[in-house]
């Protein structure tokens, strides 16, 4: 209520990217003040719900709702976001070298559609800046994933070198990693989802993760691949088969879409990736297909269009073990996390599930 009545009307009068920087910068400063993380937990934290706790990838997730990549690009506000009810966080996308991204304006709200269009282009400060930010963390209550990408100037045939460089620089900082090959805003990036380039990339990523784990005398940390929602059925089948065969830990489904079906706002014609409610059914369909194709053997994190508990539950029943939000946080504020988690708990109890894991993929049974 505090967000929707007070903060949102002010923020939505600002330029979207200026608003983004204000929120991240403000959270970054606030989290360093003694007592602020505790205050955030009091204001927005979600109470412990044992039925929603999940063990996945050898990690404990206290809640199933995470923050998708793209909001905290440089891991500046991890302590703040860790204190408002998320079960995990993705930071990034980060590239080996800092880059400015695409020209502005590049972020657009579509309020009647509950959507966002962005063509940011992996703007970030590079791996070294992220490493320093991650090392300053004080709140370590939830898993943090590092979402990694390639620099715009790196040709696809050398893309694997950028992903490997990110892993080497940030291996000690992330609890797990997400390979972003599905953003529509870096030229030709999505081509990495197909053909020999995908196998080469995943082999290089898997080998580096194994090597980094071996150096520390530990099993390799988990690594997932984030896929696009716009593939043909044949492309999706090939991509999922290749990911599954590579030994990758799981899939994040999905990134933003290039589709524009059903939009009403004047910004609908802007180039870039669309997130929010218009992506909901498409991403859920992809989750359902991935789960079916892999017989539920490849864990899925569902992302795209989650605005209420029913949206999250649909993705879990379709096969997602965890889910992420981004656009809903912009439109509904941090209060949405209590709404989503409490709503999920109600649905589990309604349907007779003792815990979240029992509901995963239940729509196939």
Domain boundaries defined on the chain: 2-364
What is the predicted pLDDT for the residue at 227?
96
Superfamily of domain 2-364: Aldolase class I (3.20.20.70)
pLDDT value of position 1: 61
Per-residue pLDDT of the chain in tens (365 residues, 90 and over written 9): 678 788 899 999 999 999 999 999 999 999 999 998 889 999 999 999 999 999 999 999 999 999 999 999 999 999 999 999 999 999 999 999 999 999 999 999 999 999 999 999 999 999 999 999 999 999 899 999 999 999 999 999 999 999 999 999 999 999 999 999 998 889 888 888 887 889 999 999 999 999 999 999 999 999 999 999 999 999 999 999 999 999 999 999 999 999 999 999 999 999 999 999 999 999 999 999 999 999 999 999 999 999 999 999 999 999 999 999 999 999 999 999 999 999 999 999 999 999 999 999 999 98
Instruction: Tell me how far the alpha carbon of residue 103 is from its chain's centroid.
Output: 23
Helix, strand, or coil here: 326? coil
183 is catalytic: yes
The crossing angle, in degrees rounded to 10, of helices 309-318 and 280-293 is 20
CA distances 300 to 125, 140, 211, 280, Å, are 29, 23, 25, 16
Of the candidates 91, 41, 53, the one whose C-alpha atom is nearest the C-alpha of residue 334 is 41
The reported pLDDT for the residue numbered 137 is 93
- On whether the CB atoms of residues 78 and 89 are closer than 8 A, the answer is yes
The pLDDT value recorded for residue 81 is 95
- Residue 62, C-beta contacts closer than 8 angstroms, at least 6 positions apart: 48, 52, 53, 87, 141, 142
Q: What is the pLDDT at residue 25?
A: 95
* Backbone torsions φ then ψ of 282, nearest 5 degrees: -65, -45
Q: Which of 83, 183, 283, 303 is catalytic?
A: 183
């Amino acid at each position: 209520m505090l967000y929707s009545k007070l903060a949102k009307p002010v923020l939505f009068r600002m330029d979207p990217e200026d608003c983004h920087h204000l929120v991240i910068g403000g959270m970054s400063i606030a989290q360093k003040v003694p007592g602020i993380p505790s205050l955030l937990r009091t204001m927005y934290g979600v109470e412990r719900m044992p039925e929603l706790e999940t063990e996945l990838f050898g990690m404990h997730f206290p809640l199933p709702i995470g923050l998708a990549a793209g909001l905290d690009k440089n891991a500046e506000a991890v302590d703040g976001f860790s204190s408002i009810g998320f079960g995990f966080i993705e930071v990034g996308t980060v590239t080996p070298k800092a880059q400015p991204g695409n020209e502005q304006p590049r972020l657009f709200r579509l309020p009647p559609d509950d959507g966002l269009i962005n063509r940011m282009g992996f703007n970030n400060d590079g791996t070294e800046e992220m490493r320093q930010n991650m090392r300053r963390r004080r709140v370590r209550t939830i898993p943090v994933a590092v979402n990694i990408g390639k620099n715009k100037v790196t040709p696809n045939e050398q893309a694997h070198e950028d992903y490997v460089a990110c892993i080497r620089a940030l291996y000690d900082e992330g609890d797990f990693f997400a390979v972003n090959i599905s953003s529509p805003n870096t030229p030709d990036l999505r081509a990495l989802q197909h053909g020999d380039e995908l196998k080469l990339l995943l082999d290089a990523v898997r080998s580096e993760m194994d090597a980094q784990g071996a150096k520390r005398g530990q099993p390799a940390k988990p690594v997932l691949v984030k896929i696009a929602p716009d593939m043909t059925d044949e492309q999706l089948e090939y991509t999922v088969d290749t990911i599954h065969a590579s030994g990758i830990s799981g899939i994040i489904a999905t990134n933003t879409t290039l589709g524009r079906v059903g939009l009403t706002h004047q910004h609908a014609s802007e180039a870039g990736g669309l997130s929010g409610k218009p992506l909901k059914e498409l991403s859920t369909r992809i989750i359902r297909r991935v789960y079916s194709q892999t017989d539920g053997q490849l864990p899925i994190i569902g992302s795209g269009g989650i605005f209420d508990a029913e949206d999250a539950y649909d993705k879990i029943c379709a096969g997602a073990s965890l889910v992420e939000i981004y656009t809903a946080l912009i439109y509904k504020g941090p209060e949405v996390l209590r709404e989503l988690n409490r709503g999920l708990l109600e649905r589990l109890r309604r349907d007779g599930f003792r815990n979240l894991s029992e509901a995963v993929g239940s729509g196939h049974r």
